[in-house]
Homo-oligomer: A and B are copies of this chain.
């Protein structure tokens, strides 16, 4: 299958409806990505000597671009509008402030040692580029637990919550039992040989933990019924849930999200917070990054580029020139800048739209670990807050940082638009619905709606509004200007920091190749 995202969406929507489609893909942030091989960078160490490159933005794409160009001998200057580096790789700790575009301000009041990854929070095994940077730059990693069978699901608020473990195994059991029934009724004899039929029935009994009569009557896999064991007996399993309690698209997240390559075991996180990656890059680029530099204008010259920016520190407008420019600004923000890009490029940039996403975080005593034996993973419920996400760090400690509400896809815009107090209340309500009596442990709420964060204005691009021809155009250099972004196709249909890093390496390779050709041309000219 090589569906476009839109085709994939419409295929799912055809039966499950728009909500199901959104649940299936929207719950993931967005669709799965390609695992493009990392761009091998073999630039000569002095390739860039004498060449000057401006990099706009010090998120992951900007930092990778700057580090790799610096290593190849380029003179690099990074203009970053914020007074911190990292972009959407943003880890909040005690005292950090969240300033919204609309003027609202929150301050993180978490206890010392707690941290909140407001942006990316997961590194899959396949994200080789960013993981290799972690190895190379000395960023210690630990396992990110993306699914725990002890976590809870509540797809129907009229019914009590049940475990992810039970969702998986009762679903599998019921479906295996129904299929066994159909096979025994000889209704699939045209598609199954006699041998397949026999093997399939045997397989289904084990797969679904069916009874001798090939009926699903519950399984110890769905959980133990806690009772005094009698000698020699296996413990009883919990009573199976009826199939109709399991047929909810809201269950798809719990059942399926870890099946997508980007979300499946084994996953990682940096020890101490996602911004440990940012720190590692920045420590090698302190001299190159200029903070508080807000870009206002881009002009292409005959022999280079000129960028005008407002320096927050001096209050002055500055103009800086370079031979080349790599912009890693979010494309919708770049679209609004004063540039002299061609009309088609401007039009392509204007097709891009930011998506919305909100995370709500709390400091809390770890009741989920102590009482419910949930260590990491997510719980899912039919509620505007959508999920409760348990920390994978510092397991078994007294307190932790609970993300109660990670709202993406359908409902994200509406959720983010609600007053903060309502967002906190909704978050608390979600916790109470999954863990009755425990929401009182939640303290020091903090919400981050990325559409409200200056210089990001969204968590990622809405890909369904990004036409293929616009994609294709923007991955080409515009004169001496290159674009790098996690949203660009040159990184594969990528997501997360991996795509940002791969996009940056792609651009660095393109630029390196151009400079190399130019040097060769100059050399041959000098000789002839």
Within 8 Å of chain B (Cβ to Cβ): is A437? no
Contact A206 B252 (CB under 8 A): yes
Measured CB to CB, the nearest residue on chain B to A3 is B234
| Segment touching B, from A92-100, A224-232, A277-285 | A224-232
- Distance in angstroms from A32 CB to nearest chain B CB is 5
Could you say which of B207, B255, B392 contacts A255, with CB atoms under 8 Å apart?
Answer: B207
In the bound complex, residues from chain B placing their C-beta under 8 Å from that of A199 are: 244, 247
Could you say which of B229, B246, B392 contacts A143, with CB atoms under 8 Å apart?
Answer: B392
Question: How many Å lie between the Cα of A469 and that of B232 in the bound state?
Answer: 8
Contact B32 A220 (CB under 8 A): yes
Contact B11 A211 (CB under 8 A): yes
Contact A234 B15 (CB under 8 A): no
Segment 482-502 of A: residues with Cβ below 8 Å from B? 489, 492-493
In the bound complex, residues from chain B placing their C-beta under 8 Å from that of A175 are: 175-176, 179, 204, 207
| Segment touching B, from A145-153, A337-345, A423-431 | A145-153
Could you say which of B207, B221, B489 contacts A231, with CB atoms under 8 Å apart?
Answer: B489
| Segment touching B, from A58-66, A107-115, A184-192, A305-313 | A184-192
Within 8 Å of chain B (Cβ to Cβ): is A480? no
Question: How many Å lie between the Cα of A134 and that of B149 in the bound state?
Answer: 22
Within 8 Å of chain B (Cβ to Cβ): is A442? no
Decide: A234 near B2, CB < 8 A? Known: A169-B259, A221-B260.
Answer: yes
Question: How many Å lie between the Cα of A375 and that of B134 in the bound state?
Answer: 15
Contact B191 A178 (CB under 8 A): yes
- Distance in angstroms from A162 CB to nearest chain B CB is 14
Contact B206 A8 (CB under 8 A): no
- Distance in angstroms from A465 CB to nearest chain B CB is 12
Contact A265 B148 (CB under 8 A): yes
Contact B34 A231 (CB under 8 A): no
Within 8 Å of chain B (Cβ to Cβ): is A168? yes
Within 8 Å of chain B (Cβ to Cβ): is A264? yes
Within 8 Å of chain B (Cβ to Cβ): is A5? yes
Contact A148 B2 (CB under 8 A): no
Within 8 Å of chain B (Cβ to Cβ): is A320? no
Within 8 Å of chain B (Cβ to Cβ): is A471? yes
Segment 1-29 of A: residues with Cβ below 8 Å from B? 1-5, 8, 11-12, 14-17, 20, 24
Question: How many Å lie between the Cα of A183 and that of B15 in the bound state?
Answer: 14
Contact B149 A265 (CB under 8 A): yes
